[in-house]
Amino acid sequence: MSRATVQPFPPTPGSNVNFGAEVSNVDIDNLRDGDFDVIRDALFTHQVLVIKNQGHVSARAQYEITKAFDPEAVGRYGHGKTIDAKRSVLHPDLKTIPHQPQVQVIGNGFVKEYEGLKNIHLKHPHHRSFHATVIPDQDDLVATRFYRWHIDAALYGLAPPVATTLMAVRVPGGRHQTVRYDDGSGDEKIVPLGTTAFVSGYSMYDNLSPEDQEFARTTRVEYAPHPYIWMSQAKSRSDGLGLVSEGKELALSDLPPVEWDKVQILPLCWTNPVTGKLALQVHPAAIRKLHLQDGSVLEDLEQVRDRIHRLQRPGIAPDLVYAHDWEEGDFVIFHNRGLLHSVVGAFAEDEVRIFRQCNIAGSKLPTGPQHVLA
């Protein structure tokens, strides 16, 4: 019998975050009958679950619970083998565990041995490598950016994973940093060092005007083929929410051969399988075209990006961001089809951090409002 309890995050002064919960009285390595049903229901209700003191959990158990959210999935890592492509923007950030290849090691610094990986150099992504403008060097340890707001998804061939799990093995602690949006809004947010930031696709949709909601319900987005190679020369906006348009995307002729049946055209809004609510779910860096309700296709990349950014930007306002304060042993499960998330922060070289990440390519594409699917 399950003894799991689910406690929604308590309200925090100045925050309007309306998602997230802590799950207690479970051991991911030894789930009791009924535990997973509680966790599954909680995930689709609260979108982010934090389970403390799980540092002992095996990579196998992490894989198994991640896959359990999509039992029909075949069990491939969410990006398949595409992260092996040296030109992919994801390539430097992930090290695959040899005995459990759906689970990746991420983090910062030099690690002599972990999970069969030896003498690995982990590198926490730094906005300097991806943003069009950067925070001056002298502010680098006190100020930071949202690196890249995203959904964990290949967006080419493989369906987006339902859930991602993150386990904090080693966490350098103590400091805080200020996230600067640097977009003229004056927005800033103080966050714990190396936080993972989450925003709700449901709030993003709910807070739109009725006209924008109608647009979001009736429009589909076409993602670039091989999106992480296609974008590899392009740079991000300062808020981490999509790219600036400087014509740096790779030409189709410079990509690996494109199989056009793998290109994904997805609804802007994805339906929650338990609550039925709509989340505005768009990976802003990978978008290429918009398919509008009247059948026309918006192909001007700068206009496509501007339209999507206008819809998404209110949803990353400082009061809507949940910035998880990692402790060693934290096991976080998040609903990858209802949230956007971002790496945050800049570590010093000697600040060693080790995390394990797992997600599984979905068995089906996400569904949106019925009339868009015709």
Nearer to Fe ion, 152 or 351 (CB): 152
Q: Does 152 bind Fe ion (CB under 5 A)?
A: yes
Taking the CA atoms of 240, 194, 130 and 140 in sequence, report the sign of the dihedral they define.
positive
Nearer to Fe ion, 44 or 149 (CB): 149
Stretch that binds Fe ion, among 111-119, 152-160, 166-174, 360-368 (CB under 5 A): 152-160
- CB burial of 320-344 (b: ≥16 within 10 Å; e: otherwise) equals bbbbbebebbbbbbbbbbbbbbbbb
Q: Which amino acid is at 64?
A: E
Cβ-contact 103, 161 below 8 angstroms: no
Write the DSSP symbol of residue 63.
Answer: H
Q: How far is the CB of 359 from Fe ion (least distance, A)?
A: 8
Separation of CA 222 from chain center = 19
Q: How far is the CB of 264 from Fe ion (least distance, A)?
A: 17
Q: Which residue is nearest to Fe ion (CB)?
A: 152
**Cα–Cα nearest to 320, from 212, 198, 208, 238:** 198
Q: How far is the CB of 203 from Fe ion (least distance, A)?
A: 19
Structural tokens at position 119: 């003498």
Q: How far is the CB of 228 from Fe ion (least distance, A)?
A: 12
Q: How far is the CB of 215 from Fe ion (least distance, A)?
A: 27
Nearer to Fe ion, 26 or 73 (CB): 73
Q: Does 93 bind Fe ion (CB under 5 A)?
A: no
Q: Does 330 bind Fe ion (CB under 5 A)?
A: no
Pairing of strands 353-359, 103-114: antiparallel
Cβ-contact 305, 284 below 8 angstroms: yes
The SS3 call for residue 37 is: helix
Nearer to Fe ion, 115 or 152 (CB): 152
Q: How far is the CB of 297 from Fe ion (least distance, A)?
A: 29
Q: How far is the CB of 80 from Fe ion (least distance, A)?
A: 15
Nearer to Fe ion, 152 or 222 (CB): 152
Stretch that binds Fe ion, among 5-13, 146-154, 251-259, 267-275 (CB under 5 A): 146-154
295: left (phi over 0), alpha (psi -120 to 50) or beta: left
**Cα–Cα nearest to 80, from 70, 94, 69, 68:** 94
Nearer to Fe ion, 35 or 152 (CB): 152
Stretch that binds Fe ion, among 145-153, 189-197, 318-326, 365-373 (CB under 5 A): 145-153
Which residues contact Fe ion (rule: CB under 5 A)? Answer: 152
